[in-house]
A and B are shown apart, each in its own frame.
Chain A
């Protein structure tokens, strides 16, 4: 956690056009019918599974493994690498950045494309069977009000320090699916309600795949502290 900041400009207490309302999300996992032990089965399951499964194994897994800062990007990549032994496929799947997708349909399409291309380039890989199948799960989400609001930048920074990592994930990573925009709730509020264009852009440049989620929180706070000073 960062040390408390001292406002050196009046700017930090300028009232936003509208307050930021911190929310969070709770998820419950369900076991789906699809499972895969080979590339072909993975492909079929990716095509037929519910969108909630695509969400669970990409967006949600980042939250579940938020403490890992390298080498873990989504469940499909991890399984291809560790269970199927297809390092190349694992690398290609791991290179997908969920933030480039504003819909789960588009993300599913890209996942299918990556697997199809790999299987076609490496036909022998289709013969491999993983000792541990990939079990498709899905998650149901309940959005939570945290009762925490921010009317200015200082209150916003304080809120960022206090809320759970689930809240950070909800606003910073899941938001693009909700908003169908390549941005996040924090950046949108900073730009729209405080006029902080530079900070809004800087937040979108934070690499979520080389930091822990706690590290992401720290980087967001650091960027905003710099704005205050």
Chain B
């Protein structure tokens, strides 16, 4: 850890009238006297740590239990010796690469020989595929003949460069979707794994890709809401987290304390945290409003931590707005963290009393999965994939407004036993449905179902 000396919010002078007013507010309005505090300088790691080795299958036994691990091995046993190829568009960065980094060794360990290849292409290709990606999410885009030609040219080059002799081929996302033409004349089974939301795609782009997708034996989506009407079977694979990753593994209490000390978070008082990029769709300003409303009744600190401000001009604007909204309140701790902060984020989540995800729009919302896995009482917006995870009043609390968020913060801070029950249920929900081992089992099941369709 290095002290970069770059606080992300103005440093208040504790003797200033504003700081005094802030302390006075906390004393008179929250009912619980808060000691005069200064905002601490966060100490943020400057360089990425070395990647830890990928876990072995046996490492998951302590988490899911021997019986479930045995069942996974049993489901996989008829597939021993089968060969699988995974293809995507990037080896590093992004959720798909992160997931494949864990999934491929697990399948290999189940004796399903799994390879992973990445397509190549020039800037022109990736500009087109990025535009496709945004258009499939509903963005404006004019599909030109030139864009079609660039896509097909690079698809053809990749097709010639790669061989497809495996029993099962899994193509991830639209970028390599055109490789399906290599299936012709082969008995192998091909799966298109779509990680993006296709509920409102740009019509031209979808019309271009649709005939390719229909040639696969099956498609896989992350949510029924993200799927399209297709003639092929569509499996549902929820996104997942790895309980042994840096972001989710158990941590020593000492380390959690160290991270809180470095970030100026006081563990003797309640902590409400939102982990997310500084992005308008994550509504950090709404979270600060909810904090201010709830703070009149209960004493707590708010931590907003995430990245996205250094590599995204809009993120920098949102971060600045959040800092301005927080003003000189030392109980609002805003942390812009580098991409290699998985351990620190893990520690912050574990130190939190409540975790909030007040997004205005969301994909699946893996930060919610992470919070539930840590058995934290979670308050989250009823958008995207969040209601699949947060079953209202069972595994967390769903909200639809700033006011709702503020009220539920007050409620959970004053009813910790209810919060603890939500936390326990939330962890069980993740254990049953959203862990990497469940994901591996889904792949194995799909491979078995497709393989048996030969008969």
Contact = CB atoms under 8 A, between A and B. Distances in A.
A145 B424 CA distance: 30
A223 to B, nearest CB: 21
Interface string A26-39: 11111101010000
B281 to A, nearest CB: 18
Given A144-B74, A162-B67, 14 more contacts: A26-B71, A26-B445, A27-B445, A28-B442, A30-B234, A31-B224, A33-B229, A35-B224, A64-B433, A66-B428, A67-B432, A140-B445, A147-B70, A164-B68
Given A144-B75, A162-B67, A28 B446 contact: yes
B394 A31 contact: no
Give 5 nearest A-B pairs by CB, closest first.
A135-B224, A67-B428, A164-B67, A28-B445, A29-B236
A144 B76 CA distance: 11
Contacts of B172: none
Interface string B34-68: 00000000000000000000000000000001111
Nearest to B393: A71
Which size class do B's interface residues fall under? 35 or more
A167 B67 contact: yes
A164 B74 CA distance: 13
A67 B74 contact: no
Which size class do A's interface residues fall under? 20 to 34
A137 B236 contact: yes
Nearest to B427: A67
Given A28-B449, A142-B75, A72 B394 contact: yes
A24 interface: yes
Interface in B191-238: 221, 224-225, 227, 229, 233-236
Most chain B CB atoms below 10 A, which of A66, A142, A147, A166: A142
B173 interface: no
A133 to B, nearest CB: 8
A47 interface: no
Contacts of A196: none
A68 B422 CA distance: 10
Contacts of B66: 162
Interface of A: 24, 26-31, 33, 35, 64-68, 71-72, 78, 82, 132-133, 135, 137, 140, 142, 144-147, 162-164, 166-167
Contact of A66 (B225, B234, B387, B432): B432
Interface string B374-395: 0000000010000100011110
Contacts of A82: 392
Contacts, number: 80
14 contacts: A27-B445, A30-B234, A31-B236, A64-B432, A67-B428, A72-B391, A72-B394, A132-B225, A132-B387, A135-B224, A135-B225, A142-B75, A144-B71, A163-B67
A64 B394 CA distance: 13
A137 B441 CA distance: 18
B248 interface: no
A91 B186 CA distance: 52
Nearest to B448: A142
B425 interface: yes
A147 to B, nearest CB: 8
Nearest to A132: B387
Most chain A CB atoms below 10 A, which of B71, B74, B227, B425: B71
Most chain B CB atoms below 10 A, which of A28, A29, A31, A142: A31
Contacts of A167: 67
Contact of B74 (A27, A68, A71, A146): A146
A140 B225 contact: no
A68 B394 contact: yes
Interface string B65-88: 111101100110000000000000
A61 B224 CA distance: 16
A132 B392 CA distance: 14
A78 B67 CA distance: 30
A22 to B, nearest CB: 9
